[in-house]
Each structure stands twice: as C-alpha cells, then as structure tokens.
C-alpha cells in the first residue's frame, strides 16, 4: 500500500475544496483503516465549500472534509476485535467521548463532547480514513457501497421519522431535500396513511414522487388546505417533520397539525426566528429537536428496513468519479439534485 493518498481538503478561506496528496492516516490501537470506495456529498459539505459564516467559525483550514462513506477495512488496530480485514463497512461520523453522563448512560448521540469527521476531525473525502472501531458499521451483502455511502443522511431521516409512532397516521413533511424525501419513504414503509411533502422546488417535488408514494405539494402554487380537504382529513396532520429550516414552513406545519400533534425538527432555521409560542401551547403540540442518528439504534433500524424492502436508491440522482468532484459539488449547489455520490475507485 502506498504511504500517501488523494484527499479533498479545505486549504484556503474561500469557496472550494482542493485535491491534494496527503499521508495515509496512521491508526491507533483502537482504530481501523478504511479504504474508501464511495462517498456522498452532504449539505454540510456545501456549507464548507461555500465557506459561509458557520464553516469559517467551525472548520479548521487544512481539514480533509466529507463524512458520508462506504469502504473496506484494510488494517486493524492491535486492540480491535469483532472486525476483519476485507470487511465492507460504513460508519458513524460522530466521534464521542466516554466521560459525559449521556455517554455513560448509553445515550451516545447526546454526548456534548461530540466531534464530527469531515467537520472537526479528518474526514472521508480521501482514499483512506482512520476511524475508531467503535464507530464502524459493517455492511451486509444486501447493501452495496452506493447505498452504504448515503446511510448517514438516511440515518437522519430514520431518526426523524421514527421519533413518533407513524402507524396509521397522517404525516406532513416540509422540505423535499434528499433527507426529507427519504423520511417520506420511511414513513410509508412503516405504515403511515397519508404522507404529504411540501417545497417550492418543482424538481425536488418531482423526485419525491419518483422515490416513494407521497403527495408532493408546491406551496408556492397550491393551498395546503385544499390538499387536506382532498385527502378527506377531518382535523389535520398527526405528525410533522420539519426538514427545511424555513420559518414559514414551520408556521404552516403548526397551523395544519391536529390538537396534540407532534413535530420532529431536523431543519435548522438561519439565525433566530420568531415563534408564536401561544399556538404551540394552545394546540398542545410536542416539539422534538433531532440531531444526527441514535447511536447505534438508528443504524440497526435502517439496515433492517433496507433488508426488508425499503428502497431509497432513486434519491441518488448523480454519480461522478472523484476526479469530477467539482461537477458533483456544482450539481448539489444548484439545488435541484437528489444525493450526489463520488466514486473513489
């Protein structure tokens, strides 16, 4: 194996990423070395590419970015058991401590000391990745590398969708990005009755209808009240999933929820947003903030669902060789794609 590799890094405080030669990471006794096969481009990666205020505050210059991946284990640390060289895997990109109350209680996804690969620590946009063995998620044969590379965002969708019981419920999803679309597919898979997804991007809404059995609604041209009436829903939606980070979308969701409705929020509004809390209180609405994935319950759930017929492959709309990474990022930045996957060969 060569002692250097190709890697995409954030080396300048300006828009873009740059391909460089970097040393292959050295692993510690509790780590594994993964040869990367496929990576997905995430919305977070777009923030880093654009070098917006959040990225400039958060991401150290020189960092290898990327956190959605699938690959193959090529080296094991001396303390690692239960894994093997040649094993296909993806992995949890949130690196946790073992000191906090949350971690010691097994609530790993709530650890306040969490750091992210490709955001705070060296990431997966490279030919090789060093990852703690604890974070490795082996892939069954039924899940190929392409799907393995989007398990991280699918996990966000699964965590959001499974926040509340969906069996027989009517569900409203605001934001038809890839995660919103996958959340709609999960809702249908687990037994929701009506699933409505809203956006103002016709391409994203058309993709949602291709991926799963969902009612796409362009709120720029359609009145959601007419949709509710057409579905013969007497009171409104039981469960909302806010994926857009848009205050108007959240307001609309609250308006169309039943008394006692429940909302899982994954979308992040920019800055501070005005909220009419009286509407939430008087409708007895439950709000749950969703961050990342439940480690590792979400991974078990989504792998089981994929093995049992959940199909999200059509959410991948573009595939590029890593040498074409600029084209991949431009497609994502244009806002009309689904998931974009890079092939590392």
Q: Check residue 336 and give its pLDDT.
A: 84
Q: Check residue 1 and give its pLDDT.
A: 64
**Is the entire prediction scored with pTM above 0.85?**
yes
Q: Check residue 92 and give its pLDDT.
A: 98
Tell me the CATH number for domain 155-289.
3.40.50.720
Domains 4-150+312-343 and 155-289 share a fold: no
Q: Check residue 30 and give its pLDDT.
A: 98
Looking at residue 252, the DSSP 8-state letter turns out to be: H
What ranges do the domains of the chain cover? 4-150+312-343, 155-289
Q: Which residues are known to be catalytic?
A: 44, 47
Q: Check residue 274 and give its pLDDT.
A: 87
> How many other C-beta atoms are found inside a 10 Å radius of the C-beta of residue 280?
16
Cα dist from 28 to 79, 96, 229, 297, whole Å: 9, 16, 59, 26
* Cβ 316 vs Cβ 338: under 8 Å: yes
Query: Using CA atoms, how far apart are residues 203 and 337, in angstroms rounded to an integer?
Result: 8
Q: In the chain, which stretches have pLDDT less than 70?
A: 1
Query: Was domain 4-150+312-343 assigned CATH 3.90.180.10?
Result: yes
End-to-end Cα, the chain, rounded Å: 15
User: 3-class DSSP state for residue 44?
Assistant: helix
């Amino acid at each position: 194996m060569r002692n250097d590799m190709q890697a995409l890094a954030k080396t300048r405080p300006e828009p873009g990423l740059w391909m460089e030669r970097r040393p292959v990471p050295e692993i510690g006794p509790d780590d594994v070395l993964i040869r990367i096969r496929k990576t997905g481009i995430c919305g977070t990666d777009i923030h880093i590419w654009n070098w917006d205020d959040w990225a400039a505050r958060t991401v150290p210059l020189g960092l290898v970015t990327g956190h959605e991946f699938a690959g193959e284990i090529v080296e094991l640390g001396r303390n690692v058991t239960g894994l093997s060289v040649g094993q296909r895997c993806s992995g949890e990109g949130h690196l946790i401590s073992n000191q906090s109350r949350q971690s010691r209680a097994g609530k790993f996804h709530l650890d306040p000391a969490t750091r992210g690969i490709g955001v705070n620590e060296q990431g997966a946009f490279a030919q090789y990745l060093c990852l703690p063995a604890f974070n490795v998620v082996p892939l069954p044969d039924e899940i190929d590398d392409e799907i393995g590379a989007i398990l991280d965002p699918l996990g966000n969708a699964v965590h959001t969708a499974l926040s509340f019981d969906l069996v027989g419920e009517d569900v409203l999803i605001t934001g038809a990005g890839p995660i919103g679309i996958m959340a709609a597919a999960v809702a249908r898979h687990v037994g929701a009755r009506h699933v409505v997804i809203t956006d103002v991007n016709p391409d994203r809404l058309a993709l949602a209808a291709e991926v799963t059995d969902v009612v796409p609604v362009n709120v720029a041209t359609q009145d959601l009240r007419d949709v509710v009436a057409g579905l013969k829903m007497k009171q409104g939606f039981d469960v909302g999933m806010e994926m857009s980070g848009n205050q108007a979308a959240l307001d609309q969701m609250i308006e169309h929820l039943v008394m006692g409705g429940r909302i899982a929020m994954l979308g992040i509004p920019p800055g501070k947003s005005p909220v009419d809390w009286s509407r939430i209180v008087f409708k007895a609405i439950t709000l749950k903030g969703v961050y990342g994935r439940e480690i590792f319950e979400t991974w078990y759930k989504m792998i089981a669902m994929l093995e049992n017929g959940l199909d999200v492959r059509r959410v991948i709309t573009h595939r590029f060789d890593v040498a074409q990474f600029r084209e991949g990022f431009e497609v994502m930045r244009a806002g009309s794609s689904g998931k974009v996957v890079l092939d590392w060969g």
